[in-house]
A = this chain, B = another copy of it.
Amino acid sequence: MKNTFGSSVSITLFGESHGEAIGAVLDGMAAGIPVDEGFIEQQMKLRQSIGALSTARREADKVRIVSGVFNGKTTGTPITFIIENQDTRSKDYGELAYKARPGHADFSAQMKYHGFQDFRGGGHFSGRITAGIVAAGAVAISALRAKGIKIATHILSCGGVYDRSFNNIDADIEQLNSIEFAVLDSAKADAMQAAITAAKEDGDSVGGRLETIVTGLPAGVGEPWFDTLESIFAHALFAIPAVKGVEFGAGFAAADMLGSECNDNFNSENGKISSSTNNNGGILGGITTGLPVLFRTAIKPTPSIYKEQQTININTMENTSLQIKGRHDPAIVHRARVVADSITALVLCDQLAMRFGTDYLM
């Protein structure tokens, strides 16, 4: 399947940036989970543009749930989220019907869809499609919280400015889930935003890193081969546009460690496992240990920049140059944070339902 992810709990995405509507179908969630439309709205806002840091496109992003919720609770059958597109200025995109924007999917889409793709605003490849992930993810996040499973993501780096990592995990999670620009060291927020603004003023863009933590997961979730929990998370995370790397625990840094540095010791206290390190990111042999799951995601700088770029005409295959106009984000890492949380929650609902049964999250 092409736009569907998950086995027991699955999400199907649909829509194009400048089409009529976008959305998602979330299937397999246990029945009886309260659906808090206020929380969905709040999560949607986190994904939206924040002031000067983001695109000038303004969408209400009002989520309409047309199935799967009855008397305020999930029914156990597919939940459909529909978000009408409103502020679509398709005239901005005329030239982009045939000039491939570097770093975008225009050329690869042409090779796949032979010119029939909806090119307007990136069409089905637009980051806007993540709105469906966030709407569905909000239901998943609520369900997990009710079981004591918490997720938080911070902007580990943006435009070369680095946040501190997690140290007091519970307090850090609490903090992140109550702020809009998700940094642990609040002093870094200004520096990051300055980097974004500087890029914007130069007609350029910046990237960044997200770091996600999950606490409260039971041990014993995941599979040894192919469906390791790392495999499943990475599969889902690489679906977020602009993600170019995923690492767990020490990640790439583990490659430079000695075994004696990298191995996480086991310590048992009152039947609960702890460790003085978490270089394996809470996953061993593809299966949770009960330590916090920890991973980082690399987000490339937004490819839509205002500088002139060398490219090709996808119809004639001739060389040409392109200067993008219109409304674009100088950075998306701060908006992608809620997408990472949402994807994480959807993966976990699926994994827990497969491991412990479809009623587990009821």
Contact = CB atoms under 8 A, between A and B. Distances in A.
A37 interface: no
B284 A104 contact: yes
B290 A3 contact: no
Given A76-B116, A310-B267, A1 B15 contact: no
Interface string A9-22: 01011111001111
A260 B298 contact: no
A226 B303 contact: no
Interface string A274-314: 00000111011111111000001011111111010111100
Nearest to A117: B75
A181 interface: no
Nearest to A65: B20
A264 B103 contact: yes
A118 B301 contact: no
8 contacts: A4-B10, A21-B66, A204-B260, A234-B234, A244-B252, A255-B298, A255-B299, A280-B300
A67 B15 contact: yes
Number of copies: 4
A156 B65 CA distance: 40
Contacts of A239: 225-228, 231, 286
A2 B27 contact: yes
A237 B331 CA distance: 29
B355 A67 contact: no
Contact of A256 (B8, B157, B234, B255): B157
Contact of A108 (B6, B285, B296): B285
Nearest to A195: B258
A67 B14 contact: yes
Range of interface residues on A (Cβ < 8 Å): 35 or more
Interface in A213-267: 218-228, 230-232, 234-239, 241, 243-252, 254-267
Interface stretch (A49-57, A122-130, A139-147, A172-180): A122-130
Contact of A124 (B77, B228, B317, B318): B77
A79 B19 CA distance: 11
Contacts of A287: 105, 108-109, 111-112
Given A125-B224, A235-B226, A244-B248, A116 B70 contact: yes
Given A1-B27, A12-B4, A205 B235 contact: no
A73 interface: yes
Given A10-B1, A235-B232, A280 B103 contact: yes
A111 B220 contact: yes
